[in-house]
Amino acid sequence: MHRVLVYRRKFLPKSETFIYEQLLGHQRVQPVVLTRRQCNRKDFPYWPVYVRRRFKGLAGWLKKQKFACLHARFGTAGVELLPHARKAKLPLITSFHGFDVTKRVQQDSRYRRALKRLFRHGKAFTVVSKHMKRQLIRLGCPQKKITVIRSGIDLGKFPLQPPQPVVDGAFRLLSVGRLTEKKGMDTLIKAFARIRRKYPRATLTIVGDGEEKQKLRRLIKRHRLQHAVTLRGAQPHHEVGRELANCHVFVLACKTAKNGNQEGIPNVLMEAMAVGRPVISTYHAGIPELVKHGKTGYLVPERSVAKLAKMIKRVLKEQDRWPDVVIRAREQVERRHDIEKQRAKLEDLYLRVLKKQR
């Protein structure tokens, strides 16, 4: 069986379940992990994981280990691994996920130049959406080298749940994501303040941690929402599933950050749709490829507090429409974001690259 080396500089941040899920369950190749630093081992148990803080002599080690192919997770990792891949004469696949085609490109001219070399010498590239494919082509990547491999979820971990009854307008709204600018949690809290005027018993739970926590706490206090909005902090994956099952509506108000940072397609939207909760999000990056407005969920423009509040009110009012929307949403996730199907596409790509190499 072919051994594929998967490189993630830090293995593995809690928010990167999508990378972990694509490591598991391969039938035709054996993925082996290389990292500079290992963390969250209980959340992401995996073997073998090689930790090398320095890459001196890496090419010789790669040859000795008899790897057939290298796979860098994020464009930054591809740039880092390319000289060692060339020296070892091994094919390199690079997966792009979000900031590596937006924020980093805008901020770092050296990285932009390094991408040109990566596009020239890298054998293949993966993206999670058609939107990201267009971004990569604009940066100079040959279209024929790009494969869309969508993020996927383990549908067995997120079974379709019966709807939660709503008692006396006590709607439970949920959002999950890092407390960072591009997740738009500030937009959501401002919109929720308007929701409370019509639905004074509604609550909002936000799961996640990050650099905007104090800013969001001040915003909650300013709008006198201390008893209505709960910041739960980062939670393990199984707890996110419990929160999804317990909520009535899921909201994620993503936006392009001031530094250009964008999403790929957040996996938590797929999870909410799989569980059977109506989702409200934004026309941002690849999200419209997952959430079809009025069919599998609801979308509003980025950064619009007024339009987000109006859409949430509409969805809360139209409970009779929820069953049709959530069934179509579940079908969409089963069709296009089943981890087993996406993992098989990744295996096919590995084998195509290896066949060309031979």
Residue 94: C-alpha distances to residues 2, 62, 167 (Å):
18, 17, 49
Do 47 and 120 fall into the same domain? yes
Residue 114: C-alpha distances to residues 34, 74, 77, 92, 150 (Å):
21, 13, 11, 15, 25
Do 269 and 280 fall into the same domain? yes
Do 194 and 267 fall into the same domain? yes
Do 329 and 248 fall into the same domain? yes
**CATH number of the domain enclosing 181:** 3.40.50.2000
Which pLDDT does position 240 carry in this prediction? 94
Range of the domain at 139: 2-152+338-357
Q: Report whether 59 contacts 94 (CB < 8 A).
A: no
Sign of the CA dihedral 241, 242, 243, 245? positive
For the whole model, what pTM was predicted?
A: 0.93
Closest CA to 246 of 310, 312, 149, 162: 162
pLDDT in tens, 337-356: 999 999 999 999 999 999 88
Do 182 and 328 fall into the same domain? yes
Cite the beta strand spans of the chain per DSSP E. Answer: 2-7, 10-11, 29-35, 37-38, 49-51, 69-73, 92-95, 124-127, 146-148, 172-176, 203-207, 229-233, 249-251, 279-282, 298-300
Which pLDDT does position 64 carry in this prediction? 95
Which pLDDT does position 93 carry in this prediction? 98
Do 184 and 169 fall into the same domain? yes
Mean pLDDT in runs of 10 for the chain (358 residues)?
A: 96 92 94 97 95 95 95 98 97 96 92 97 97 96 97 94 94 97 98 97 97 98 98 92 97 95 94 98 97 98 98 97 98 96 96 88
Closest CA to 208 of 267, 286, 164: 267
Cα 71 → chain centroid = 18
Q: Report whether 290 contacts 332 (CB < 8 A).
A: yes
Which pLDDT does position 47 carry in this prediction? 95
Query: How many angstroms separate the CA atoms of 73 and 44, rounded?
Result: 16
Task: HSE, CB side, 13 Å, CA atoms: give it for residue 96.
Answer: 37
Query: How many angstroms separate the CA atoms of 266 and 270, rounded?
Result: 7
Biggest distance spanned by C-alpha atoms of the chain: 67
Do 204 and 129 fall into the same domain? no
Number of structural domains (the chain) is: 2
Cite the beta strand spans of 177-307 per DSSP E. Answer: 203-207, 229-233, 249-251, 279-282, 298-300
pLDDT in tens, 244-302: 999 999 999 999 999 999 998 999 999 999 999 999 999 999 999 999 999 999 999 99
Do 227 and 274 fall into the same domain? yes
Do 162 and 46 fall into the same domain? no
Which pLDDT does position 357 carry in this prediction? 77
Which pLDDT does position 15 carry in this prediction? 85
Q: What are 75's two structure tokens?
A: 């464009």
Q: What are 250's two structure tokens?
A: 């899921």
Which pLDDT does position 198 carry in this prediction? 96
Q: What are 224's two structure tokens?
A: 């006198």
Query: How many angstroms separate the CA atoms of 260 and 74, rounded?
Result: 16
Do 146 and 41 fall into the same domain? yes
Q: What is the mean pLDDT of the chain?
A: 96
Task: HSE, CB side, 13 Å, CA atoms: give it for residue 257.
Answer: 19
Do 8 and 76 fall into the same domain? yes
Closest CA to 335 of 150, 128, 183, 206: 150
Q: What are 82's two structure tokens?
A: 């390319």
Do 239 and 260 fall into the same domain? yes
